[in-house]
Amino acid sequence: MRKLNSQSAIRNPQSYNSVLIITPTQKEKEPLTRVLPPDVIRICGIGRVNTASFLTEEIIRRRPEGVLLVGCGGAYHGSGLSIGDIAVAESEFSADEGVIDETGFRSMEEVGIPVLKKQGVEYFNLFPVNATLADRLFECAQAEDLTAEKGSLITVSATSGTKQRADIINKGIGALCENMEGAAAAHICLKYDIPFAELRGISNMAGQRRPFDIIAAMTAVGKVLRKFRD
CATH number at residue 221: 3.40.50.1580
**Could you tell me if residue 204 is inside a domain?**
yes
The pair phi, psi for residue 125, each rounded to 5°, is -105, -20
The reported pTM is 0.93
What local confidence, expressed as pLDDT, does residue 2 receive? 47
Q: How far, CA to CA in Å, does 87 sit from each of 52, 102, 109, 152, 178?
A: 21, 33, 26, 9, 10
**Could you tell me if residue 212 is inside a domain?**
yes
**Could you tell me if residue 5 is inside a domain?**
no
What local confidence, expressed as pLDDT, does residue 1 receive? 47
Cis peptide before 128 (omega within 30 of 0): no
**Could you tell me if residue 119 is inside a domain?**
yes
Q: Which domain range does residue 131 map to?
A: 18-228
What local confidence, expressed as pLDDT, does residue 3 receive? 45
**Could you tell me if residue 8 is inside a domain?**
no
**Could you tell me if residue 1 is inside a domain?**
no
In one-letter notation, the amino acid at residue 129 is V
**Could you tell me if residue 176 is inside a domain?**
yes
Q: Tally the domains of the chain.
A: 1
Q: What is the mean pLDDT of each run of 10 residues along the chain (230 residues)?
A: 50 79 98 96 98 97 96 97 98 96 92 96 97 97 98 97 96 96 98 97 96 98 96
- Helix spans in 83-162 (H): 108-111, 131-143
**Could you tell me if residue 50 is inside a domain?**
yes
C-alpha to C-alpha distance for 121 and 138, rounded to whole angstroms: 28
Residues with Cβ within 8 Å of 204's Cβ and at least 6 positions away in sequence, in order, are 72, 74, 75, 83, 210, 211, 212, 213
What local confidence, expressed as pLDDT, does residue 230 receive? 86
